[in-house]
Amino acid sequence: MEYSSRDSSKHGASDSPRREERVVYVMPDQEAWRQDDDSIDLANVWNTLWRNKWTVAAITAVFAIGSIGYALTLTHWYRSGMLLAPAGEETVNTGISGQLGSLAGLAGISISTGGSSVEALAVMKSRDFTRAFVEEQDLLPVLFADKWDAEAGRWIEEDPELWPDAADGARVFDKSLRRISQDRETGMVTVSVDWTDPELAAQWVTLMVKRLNDEMRARALEKAEANVAYLQSQISATSVIALEQAVGRLLEREQQKLMLARGNEEYAFRVIDSAEVPESPFRPNRRLMVIVATLFGGLLAVFFVLARGFVRQRGADDASDAPA
């Protein structure tokens, strides 16, 4: 009995064994896989650098020589500084302070005998103080030397409105030349001045501190003299013995202030370390500049050589894979 091909295909599926389908994975050649991968081969990198070692050396040398030449053209800047200690505030003893505090407060009189370091620092940083210092020392031709004709003794610009004034000098001096810092724990103050002439830097910082002490002492003298005049007028005007005695004690304290201010040149700050003429500049750091520039040039040379080798290898691979 014969079956049709249709029946045979229909019934033969159950009689014949089932064909198993298998998927076979073939691992690619290991060497070819390495060539197709974009991972870095250290041996190839080293060989590329070794073949182009003179190129790397030449680029690095150019950066090193260029940095040396540039560093030699820079102007030396010197820093001279002073270490200061607050003169302190001598106050009356507790008993007198308790007895006279209310009366002094009503009269608007302070019973301390020393200057305030906080006030003194604020005065030194103020625009008025810096402007007055620039004018007294005639610093405008020095600070704006590029605009000043030293031989003719006048400004290069013909228009007076273009000439720098004391406000311009104070702004330059405060932002670029003067440095003021205070240690919060000890209260010590460091004042420094940066300039291209080491002798001028030491001279300016010394004169600036002296001017600050003189100004703070002048303010204290003016205030104490006004207080003395006021208290003397009150003593002559009152007939109450107790009040006269209290005002007399206040008058005595103000007279002590006058004596201390007149006899103390370091009224606001005492000089701990005076300014010295610096022997070596603090900037530019030529050695550091040359080292950084040389390292940068070497890294740039390595990157350039490796990038050029990579581009060339890519081009060669594309040419070999192209159909003939």
Mean pLDDT, to the nearest integer, of 114-128?
A: 84
What are the residues whose beta carbons fall under 8 Å from the beta carbon of 153, sequence distance 6 or more?
none
Query: CA separation (Å) from 248 to 103, 109, 157, 251, 260?
Result: 11, 13, 62, 5, 18
Mean pLDDT, to the nearest integer, of 104-122?
A: 61
Q: Helix 42-51 vs helix 286-321: angle between axes, to the nearest 10 degrees?
A: 110
Per-residue pLDDT tens for 266-311? 889 999 999 999 999 988 888 999 999 999 999 999 999 988 888 8
**Tokens for 124?**
């030194």
Per-residue pLDDT tens for 44-78? 888 888 989 999 999 999 999 999 999 889 899 99
CA distance 137 to 195: 15
Q: CA 169: distance to chain centroid? A: 21
Mean pLDDT, to the nearest integer, of 115-122?
A: 82
% of the chain with per-residue pLDDT over 90: 44
CA distance 279 to 109: 48
Query: Torsions phi, psi of 78, nearest 5?
Result: -115, 150
What are the residues whose beta carbons fall under 8 Å from the beta carbon of 21, sequence distance 6 or more?
none
Provide the pLDDT for residue 89.
52
